[in-house]
Amino acid sequence: MIILGSKGRAKVIGMGKFFCPACNQVRNYQRVYVDKYFTVYWIPLFKVGKMGEYVQCQTCHNTYPPEAIQYRPPSEEERLHAAVLGDLRNGLPAHMVIRKVEERYGDHLLATRYVYNLLGNHPLECPTCGYLYHESAARCLNCGTALRPATHLLELQ
């Protein structure tokens, strides 16, 4: 809760919805203008800007600089993209990543296409198990064999 000083005035100059970092979801905000003699004490997540304006989440009452209302959290699609790419770059074979995507979205073909598209321009495979890997992988996670350029990836594309 904000404690407001007694000099000057705070004026609500706008309201709307924004993504509150503290609540981690979309909330209502009020945009407040504070004149220069006004004192505000708040939980210091962000400092109030020089202009004396801030936005305040109407749920948790944390305050942020006005730019906070421009912030757009990553979409589910962007999160998935980052997670899949992270797994592949960490050396997980494609079929394991596909299984994770499929568990979430329930479509094997779609999951396969999605993951294959993120394998990079030069996907690799294990000559022993046939597991597919992202181009940045070095060895097969399963058997430790050095990877070679993939040969059987084209079937699905």
With CB under 5 A as the contact rule, the residue among 143, 146, 148, 156 that binds Zn ion is 143
User: Between residue 6 and residue 65, which ones bind Zn ion under the rule CB under 5 A?
Assistant: 20, 22-23, 27, 57, 59-60
Binding-residue pattern over the window 80 to 119 for Zn ion, x denoting contact by CB under 5 A: ----------------------------------------
Q: Which of 126, 132, 147, 150 binds Zn ion (CB under 5 A)?
A: 126
Q: Which is nearer to Zn ion, 2 or 83 (CB)?
A: 2
CA distances from 108 to 99, 104, 115 (A): 8, 10, 11
Residue whose C-alpha is closest to residue 150's, from 108, 114, 120, 105:
120
Helix-then-strand count for the chain, H and E: 3, 9
Which of 64, 114 has the CB closer to Zn ion? Answer: 64
Alpha carbons 59 and 81: distance in angstroms, whole number: 31
